[in-house]
Chains A and B, each alone.
Chain A
Amino acid sequence: MKSAINCIEWLVEQMGGLARLIVLALVLLVATDVILRYLFSIGPVALQELEWHLISPIALIGLSYTMKHRADVRVDFLYERFNWRLRAFIDLIAALLTLSVAVVITYLSIAYVQQSYMLNEGSPDPGGLPMRYLLKAFIPLGFGLLALQGLAETIRSLLVLCGKLPPESPAVVEEAA
């Protein structure tokens, strides 16, 4: 069971590593586009389109990564007064709900990506980027990873409830940044 958690979180961490690099790429790309345009009046349409294309992987791959690092937002003023057992129970509910939401969205978005693929959808702007279905594919990919992370959290909170893992106290939860 613990190895299943480790396996999932390894995957989430690897994909997160990719998304981290995309953050750096976004920073450098937008800055480069601005400077090239200002100084040399050049700016290929494809590079300009690539700017907003990079939001998708950051936002969507980031979902599971954020959840793994406990950086998602919770309202904690009742939670922090609960005992460890109730907390683990809430965590279990949260994990199951995350799993369900992510599965539903993944399922819904697969047909959406398929349609885009059938249409061979690309940018309507001449010189823009082709294969828009790849961009759309980040939706099922991101929510699929979130479903996996939700599964890992489900297993973890079950293990905590069974006493096979120590409860996490909020104080040791990793800081967001």
Chain B
Amino acid sequence: ADKESFNFKMTNAYPPGAPFYVQGPGSPMDFCDKVKAMSGGRVNIQHFAAGELIPAMEGFNAVAAGTVEMNAANAYFWAGKIPAAQYFTTVPFGMSTQGMNAWLYHGGGLELWHEIYADYGLIAFPMGNTGVQMTGWFRNPLESVDDLKGLKMRIPGLAGKVYKELGVNPVLLPGGEIFPALERGVIDAAEFVGPFQDRRLGLHKAAKYYYTTGWGEPTNVTELLINKKVWDGLPKDLQLIIMTAAQACVTESFVWCEAVNADAMTDLVENEGVIAQSLPDSIVKRLKEVTADTLETMAAADPTTAKVHKSFMDFRKKHDSWAALSEKPFLNLL
């Protein structure tokens, strides 16, 4: 048969050279290579990191307008247009990567995602996952909720809103200014990603207390965004190749993070004098309460968000009780 070939452009919300988000095993560039090889060269995706073609946060509009065909980012970057998009990346105190994948692929999550994005002429698939992130770096130890009062923390997004209720003062700073600001004490704390990425930024040289675990981002899904017209115009076999390659990247990037984070954390603790510890129970309890309220309020404000919220929470309930009997006892054996 006559096999048509396709040339696409993919933009990325992350800067050139960023491991995981741009290059490396299971990254968007790796995805492009995989698709090209699997399709025998019929799908050729040219990748552009943030700023190469368009600025970081403009991918959604560019794909919706059809100026580029694909974009790699996190869905929660679009929360200013689609509040429900938050749920397709991560939910504070939501589910682990296992639970999130289960919801997306077998709990109705991906169908909801497609349903909502269809209105914008878009379709999206998971294309990567960092696994659980960290609470962040603190210059001083935390003992009680009082220690959060007046704390200046670089923390974007939903977690920032929750912290604010506990008296934290969220500071918005671009990635490059986190280090100098934390090092000089302009801010007292900063959240970024996980041990491997944070070490790359040098945050351990600015603050010694590394709190775990990432209650704010217990998982983190990379989004492959595709223009719906482009997608519908692809033959079935190429659609399957793209979906399969994206799913392969979810697994590959996740296990890559597991491996490099393990190494990085050991190095940070053993060689850099970092004190890694979990948050005190009293703080976790308050954060959890405020998060629940915040999510309820958000859901009440927007019917679409309400729908996604319900699907996510119903699934979580089910999955939590299974996890309580499966993963949790096992992790407690460690």
Residues in A lying within 8 Å of B, measured CB to CB: 37, 41-43, 45, 48-49, 111-112, 115-116, 119-128, 132
Contact = CB atoms under 8 A, between A and B. Distances in A.
B172 A45 contact: yes
B80 A121 contact: yes
A124 B171 contact: no
Contacts of B164: 127
B160 A126 contact: yes
B152 A37 contact: yes
A45 B152 contact: no
A41 B169 contact: yes
Contacts of B65: 111-112, 115
Contact of B158 (A41, A112, A126): A126
A124 B79 contact: yes
Interface string B48-89: 000000000100010011000000000011111100000000
Interface in B251-267: none
Most buried by A among B57, B77, B171, B298: B171
B81 A42 contact: no
Nearest to A41: B150
Contacts of B8: none
B80 A45 contact: no
Contacts of B57: 124
B80 A49 contact: no
A123 B81 CA distance: 8
B157 interface: yes
Contacts of B6: none
Contacts of A45: 160, 170, 172
A43 B65 CA distance: 36
Given A121-B81, A124-B80, A127-B164, A116 B61 contact: yes
A124 B61 contact: no
A115 B64 contact: yes
B9 interface: no
Contacts of A116: 61
Contact of A48 (B120, B151, B161, B171): B171
Contacts of B303: none
B180 interface: no
A125 B80 CA distance: 7
B80 A132 contact: yes
A122 to B, nearest CB: 4
Contacts of A120: 81
B61 A125 contact: no
A124 B169 contact: no
B237 to A, nearest CB: 32
Contacts of B169: 37, 41-43
B156 interface: yes
A126 B77 CA distance: 11
B171 A126 contact: no
Interface in B130-163: 150-152, 156-158, 160-161
16 contacts: A37-B152, A41-B151, A41-B169, A43-B152, A43-B171, A45-B170, A112-B65, A121-B81, A122-B80, A122-B81, A124-B57, A124-B76, A126-B298, A127-B160, A127-B161, A127-B164
The 9 residue pairs across chains A and B that have the minimum distance between CB atoms: A41-B150, A126-B161, A124-B80, A122-B80, A124-B79, A119-B81, A48-B172, A41-B169, A123-B80
